[in-house]
Every structure is written in C-alpha cells, then in structure tokens.
Amino acid sequence: MLDENNQEEIFVDCDKTGVIYHNWQEDKIKTLELAQSYARLEDDDRATKCVECGTYLDFYYDLETGVHKLRRANFCKQPLCPMCIKRKQKKIYGQMSKIMNVLSDDYAFVFLTLTQKNVSGEDLADEIDNLMNGWKRLVNRN
Ligand SMILES: [Zn+2]
C-alpha cells in the first residue's frame, strides 16, 4: 500500500490509541546484521533466509474497524533471528496469558528461582530429591 508520498506504507504495531507495542524496524535491522554474520561464515542459505525474513506480509483488512491482521508471511524461523524470536516470544506470552487468566480464579502464582551448586551426574538424582523435599517442606509450612 502506498502513502500520500507514493512510498510504501510502513505498518506500525500499535493499538487503537496509537500506543506502539513493538518497533519491528529495529528487529529487521538486527536480522540484516545477523544475515551479514551468516554471509561472513559463508552460510549463504541462512543469510538469504534472514535477508528475506518478513519481506512478504499478507494482511486481512477489516473495512469496518480498520484493523489489519496478519494472514500470511515469509518468516525465516531461524533460531537466532531477532524478528522471529520476538514473534515467538509474543505468541508464547499470549498463550501463557490466556492460561494464567483462567487459572488465576483458583490459584495464586509465585515467581520462584531455585539455584543450587553444580553436582556430578551420579549425585544429580539425590540432589533433585533433596531440593524437591525442601520445597515441599517450605510449601507445607505456609
Ligand atoms: Zn526471521
């Protein structure tokens, strides 16, 4: 779609009030830098995929609401691609939000980070058992 200056319109990921959720241009620039790195490593297949990532976007357009919804695209799905990482992150966030909204009626959430010194492989099972038993004692106390 062309704008009033006859240039390709740049879509912005924003809500109806104009609040921008994400600047995809910054991620595309990082993806192109990743492509240069792949090219330096002579991995032309990955470099090409990164260069072409997100260059084709096909949207549904709701005439009544003016909302665009992505229908098809050519994302590269490379594990290190900043654009694909951000898309995957948003997808997982949306899925987790739905799950947490349903569960929040019956459960409270706790953010917990457990750390432990590294142990040898032969001691790992016992170490995990000790951690789990300690966690169970802590939960049952409260
Ligand atoms: Zn990508």
Tens digits of residue pLDDT in 84-121: 999 999 899 999 999 999 999 898 888 878 787 889 99
Tokens of 72: 């098809």
In this prediction, residue 71 carries a pLDDT of 92
CA dist., res. 137 & res. 104, Å (int): 24
Encode pLDDT of 13-72 as tens digits. 777 677 777 778 889 999 999 999 999 999 999 999 999 999 998 988 888 887 778 899
Residue 54 C-alpha to ligand 1 middle, in angstroms?
Answer: 7
CA dist., res. 70 & res. 60, Å (int): 6
Residue 135 C-alpha to ligand 1 middle, in angstroms?
Answer: 40
Who contacts 83 (Cβ-Cβ below 8 Å, separation ≥6)? 24, 27, 28, 30, 31, 53, 54, 75, 76
Residue 51 C-alpha to ligand 1 middle, in angstroms?
Answer: 8
Three-class secondary structure of residue 37 per DSSP: helix
Residue 120 C-alpha to ligand 1 middle, in angstroms?
Answer: 38
> In the chain, which ranges are continuous DSSP H helix?
24-40, 44-52, 82-103, 121-141
Q: What are residue 6's phi and psi, to 5 degrees? A: 65, 30
